[in-house]
Amino acid sequence: MTPTTAEAAAEPDAARPLRADALRNRALILDTARRLFAERGLGVTLNDIAREAGVGVGTVYRRFADKDAVVAALRADKFAVLRELAQRAAEVDDPRDALRGYLHEVMAVRVRDRAIHEAVAGASNGADDLREERDRLGEEVERVIERARAAGVVREGFAARDVPLLTLMIGGVADRAGEAHPQLWRRYAALVIDAVCPPQASSALPGEPLGVSDLPAVMHRRA
């Protein structure tokens, strides 16, 4: 079926070379979307992105058919960040330090970027190249875990597939703690990491538990 003029105008024109101003708009839209998704998660709309970027929503739709297309464009960046962390961990000599360091860093990424676990989880329903990115990441993380397993320093049964849910848990603490308690997540990250891959020597948990007066506000705060 031949699209109408209005439909054709709304379709992304990736097949045609983009003018300099169109390239700038595309980069601006992606940069804005990246920031908003990191701050608020994937509930952000294209209208939100357009308003924050200072462009008309029609400009956004000319570059991207829908929000899924924006998310897909950003997913590759997010996978690249996570794969770099796994690759750096693979270069650490001590298997225990490698796994503990990787887990802490990936949790820190989730604290900074609320959309990252949603983007990775969504790769299962995405294009083949995104599923391949997910599988490559899983293989690299599994190699870090396998080194720790061979050294006998990781809890039996722990797998790369456990990592996204661990980051989700710690991200939930950070989201609820908000700006009032920005370092609280580190305390619970340490607890989780110690449970997965115990430290060589016992040490105190970072920070302090919430006070009695602070706990209800954090528990009931909307993430």
The answer to whether residues 152 and 183 belong to one domain is: yes
pLDDT at 221: 77
Task: Residue 119: count other Cβ atoms within 10 Å of its Cβ.
Answer: 23
Q: Is residue 4 part of a domain?
A: no
Same domain, 95 and 180: yes
pTM for the model stands at 0.74
pLDDT tens digits for range 123-182: 666 566 677 888 899 999 999 999 999 999 999 999 999 999 999 999 999 999 988 999
> What average pLDDT does this structure show over 41-65?
92
Instruction: Identify the CATH number of the domain in which residue 155 sits.
Output: 1.10.357
Residue indicated by tokens 């709304």: 10
Domain membership of residue 204 as a residue range: 75-220
Cβ-based neighbour number of residue 90 at 10 Å: 14
Say if residue 124 is in the same domain as residue 182.
yes
159 and 111 in one domain?
yes
Residue 86 reports pLDDT greater than 70: yes
In degrees, rounded to 5, the angle at the alpha carbon of residue 192 between the alpha carbons of residues 189 and 197 is 115
36 and 131 in a single domain? The answer is no
- At 125 the pLDDT is 60
Domain-embedded: residue 6: no
| 105 within a domain of the structure (yes/no) | yes
Instruction: Determine, yes or no, domain membership for 174.
Output: yes
- In the chain, count of helices (H) and strands (E)? 11, 0
| 189: pLDDT strictly greater than 80 | yes
Asked whether residue 32 falls in the same domain as residue 124, the answer is no
- The verdict on 55 and 80 lying in the same domain is no
* 104: in domain: yes
211 shares a domain with 105: yes
Q: Cα 84 to chain center, whole Å?
A: 13
At 35, which CATH number? 1.10.10.60
Do 126 and 146 belong together in one domain?
yes
Residues in the chain: 223
- The pLDDT score that the predictor gives to residue 68 is 84
Residues 1-18 have a mean pLDDT of: 41
- Looking at the fold, whether 79 and 60 belong to one and the same domain comes out as no
* Overall average pLDDT of the 85-99 stretch: 97
Mean pLDDT of 39-60: 92
Residue 213 has φ and ψ, to the nearest 5°, of: -75, -25
**Average pLDDT along the chain:** 86
Locus of tokens 């956004």: 60
What's the structural domain count of the chain? 2
Query: Residue 197: pLDDT above 90?
Result: yes
Residues 47 and 90 in one domain: no
Q: In terms of domains, do 141 and 171 share one?
A: yes
pLDDT of residue 71: 83
- Any domain includes 7: no
Confidence of residue 121 (pLDDT cuts 50, 70, 90): low
